[in-house]
Structure 1
Amino acid sequence: MCKDEVVPNSVVYTSMIDGQFKKGSLENAFKYLSKMRDQGIRLDVPAYGTILSGLCNRGKLDSAIEIKEDMVRNGLAPDQFIFNTLMNAHFKNGNLKVALNEYKELLNRGFEHDVVTLTTLMDGLCKQRHLYEARGHFNKEMANDILYTVLIDGMCKNGDLSQVEMVFGEMLKAGFIPDKYMYTSWIAGLCKQGNLVEAFRLKNKMIQEGTIPDLLTYSSLIFGLVGKGLMIEAKHIFHDMLKRGITPDYAVYDIMIRGYTKQGDANAISCLHNEMKNIELLIQESVASVRS
């Protein structure tokens, strides 16, 4: 770059800073930022947004807040991306009040709701167990498949399954196709409530419509069955998972072992321990082959 006498501008530096953040190198990202400032290149809103987002993604929320403050001191107003990024980071850190303050400031500065803002707000509220407030912000006219997924997932995880089917139906009427994450959220919620009949009905519907269950789907079903002491049925689902080429994780084995322990089935526990050792060996061999 220097040999060709090309002087990097704000766009080039912002791109390089973004690249370093994505690589996980905060040190190099800030080296480029220092070079940028040393050359008298003024940071613009996209540059601030890139730095702030990179810091939030790396869990450096305090530093991200300082970047926003620096931006304001330099006479620049945060854009909607910056507000959404900070709001999301505060929600993830459990700072509900601060996250909502970011949302209020966003509105006070004249920004209108877009689907990203709504998704960030609703997802954060749901995860902080403020489902009622989250549902109050749901906008059918603006909703997409992601927003519906956030709402249904929030309802399921907060144990409010009474209206999930209604929302699911509204989503289908709007032309959106449910994915495995949405199905799995619903199945997991049903299993936690002990409604295994409905959970398996939904699992069969999921397969009929061409959506393949994943590890989380199967682990939710196994969790529900083991919780009711139905180890024969849990074993059947466990082997169905294996037939579909899905490798159980340690959480699934742990659930199964706990179930067999309650029943005093030492032979089944021994078999599972041996399977775990074999899978661990296969994983090690797979990693070794990739590295070679």
Structure 2
Amino acid sequence: MAVKRFLKPITKPAPPPSSSPPLSPIPNPPLPPPPGRSLAPLPTLTISPNSHYQHLLGFVKTHLSPPFTPDSLLHFLKSKLHHHPNFTHFDLHIFNWASTIDSYRHNHSTFEWMARTLAITNRLVELRALLQFMVSNPCPCSDGIFSCPRTEPIFQFVINAYCKAGKLDDAVFAFDCMRRLIDGRPCVVIYNILIHGFVKCVRHDKALEFYDKMIKDRVKPDVFTFNILISSHCRNSQFGMALELFKEMRKKGCNPNVVTFNTLIKGLFSKRKIEEGIGMAYEMIGLGCQLSIATCEILVDGLCKGGQISQACELLIDFSRKGVLPKGYDYFVLVEVLCGQGNALGALELGYELWNKGNIPTIIACTVLIDGLRRLGNIEEAFRLLEKMLKEGMVVDTFTFNCVLQDLCNVARTAEANKLKVFALSRGLKPDGMTYRILVSGYTREGNSKDGELVVDEMLDRGFIPDLATYNKLINGFSNCRRSTFQQVNKIGR
């Protein structure tokens, strides 16, 4: 949508039949001129004396009769024009037309709605013209000693929209317009929006310049200001400057938060300053700032990449014992690295240590740990871990469960495997046909036909035996097992 300056002049429509009075065209006054250089193609808006134009005039006359107030105009724009499929794009045109009526004057409510609408619909060129209009025609609230209290929030939204679109020159222009309308200094939030916009567009030097302007304007920076600039220093390989800014932050009485420390710790690890990074984490704890999941991930990933796996384990254990390890932290990466090195017992020790302190591992971490223990042939520990998972209410996947059952049956511990199955059923496990075939096979090898036949009957009840022939085959397997056992006993007796 183009501003009034770019609209074609409205010509007077041809008079309708004498049966109805002539309709007056909507005036089209221009707003202050937009910037000389257009950053994007300007859409055009032509209102010609045709039936569509007549419908617009009739629509306005029906729903908005002068004299009207800013509230009634706002109601018309929001509730009538905005929802009309053919006229919604004439919102700025109606807004400009209203400003030419002698008895009417826009206030902050209409300015705010128009500014937000233009920003949301990405009509940023028109938005710049609207800001110039606001400077020339301030809100009636500004007629007294103080400026309108809604001016700064309106410009904050506009500046944020320009920064998100990467139009930083327009954002600075909006900032300068705002300075002419408000009393005193802008709030720190608006400075932060602009500084972050420069950083996001990789204009680090401009971000620092605006920070200096902020200090000269005697606006006190907050923790978000410092976090933005510290992050920008680190991204531009200026870690020394980031540390200096951190010291300046402390001198100005601004307490760092978890984002500040995470940024610095990550920067220290990127410079291979491992001990300094760990020291920064402990300084963070000393200041009463809680570790986040991201903090632990930065520390563990950095130590693992440096080959310091045991130090990573010791660090997590120390955090856990101090009660500062964040709830929900997933130490799966460390478990995976340890198991990949064949140190599943070390991963198990770490898991139990953290688990006993309330830091429950994820199902994925436990599954990787069970697989690592099985590869070491440590069936007993894999069995214990699976049992602990079930007791904690974890829903174990059927494949992992069947693998542990198979290991138990392979060492003639089918009775324990069956008990584990019964317990798992009570904890919500849904066994499959393989679960029962593993148990039947185990009982067959052990010659335990009595318990084996009970398992076969349970298979039948659960629908895992498709037909009678399959059932008879399984039962006959136990009969053959009994005969084989009887023959072996006779041979021993002879």
Tell me which interval the TM-score lies in, with the shorter structure as reference length: 0.5 to 0.7
Query: Structure 2 matches for 1:1-292, cutoff 5 A?
Result: 10=71, 44-46=107-109, 48-49=111-112, 62-63=120-121, 65=123, 69=127, 72=130, 76=134, 79-92=151-164, 95-96=165-166, 98-107=167-176, 110-111=179-180, 114=186, 115-139=188-212, 140=215, 141-146=218-223, 147-240=225-318, 242=320, 243-244=323-324, 246-248=326-328, 253=332, 255-256=333-334, 259-260=337-338, 263=341, 275-277=361-363
Conserved in 1, the CA contact under 8 Å of 2:290 and 2:324?
no
Conserved in 2, the CA contact under 8 Å of 1:52 and 1:64?
no
Conserved in 2, the CA contact under 8 Å of 1:52 and 1:68?
no
The 1:134/1:205 distance shift into structure 2, 3 A limit, reads same
Conserved in 1, the CA contact under 8 Å of 2:363 and 2:394?
no
| Distance (Å, rounded) in 2 between the aligned partners of 1:257 and 1:50 | 54
Question: Taking CA–CA contacts closer than 8 Å with sequence separation of 6 or more, which of the two structures ends up with the larger relative contact order?
Answer: 1
SS in structure 2 of the partner of residue 190 of structure 1: helix
- The answer for unaligned runs of 5 or more in structure 2 is 1-69, 84-90, 92-97, 99-103, 139-150, 352-359, 367-388, 396-494
TM-score by length of 1: 0.64
SS in structure 1 of the partner of residue 256 of structure 2: coil
Structure richer in helix, relative to its length: 1
| Distance (Å, rounded) in 2 between the aligned partners of 1:157 and 1:260 | 32
Conserved in 2, the CA contact under 8 Å of 1:125 and 1:131?
yes
The 1:264/1:124 distance shift into structure 2, 3 A limit, reads farther
The 1:217/1:71 distance shift into structure 2, 3 A limit, reads same
Runs of 4+ in 1 over 6 A off after TM superposition: 40-43, 266-272, 278-285
Per-residue deviation, residues 197-241 of structure 1 (Å, max 9, x unmatched): 111121122222222222222221112112212222222334455
The 1:136/1:70 distance shift into structure 2, 3 A limit, reads closer
SS in structure 1 of the partner of residue 211 of structure 2: coil
TM-score by length of 2: 0.41
Which of the two has higher C-alpha Rg?
Answer: 2
CA RMSD of aligned residues (A): 4.7
| Farther-moved stretch of structure 1 (231-240 vs 114-123) | 231-240
The 1:183/1:130 distance shift into structure 2, 3 A limit, reads same
The 1:108/1:144 distance shift into structure 2, 3 A limit, reads closer
| Distance (Å, rounded) in 1 between the aligned partners of 2:340 and 2:107 | 62
Q: Matched residues, percent identical?
A: 17
| Distance (Å, rounded) in 2 between the aligned partners of 1:190 and 1:278 | 30
Aligned-residue offset at 1:32: 9.0
| Equivalent residue, structure 2, for 1:4 | none
**AA aligned opposite 1:144:** P
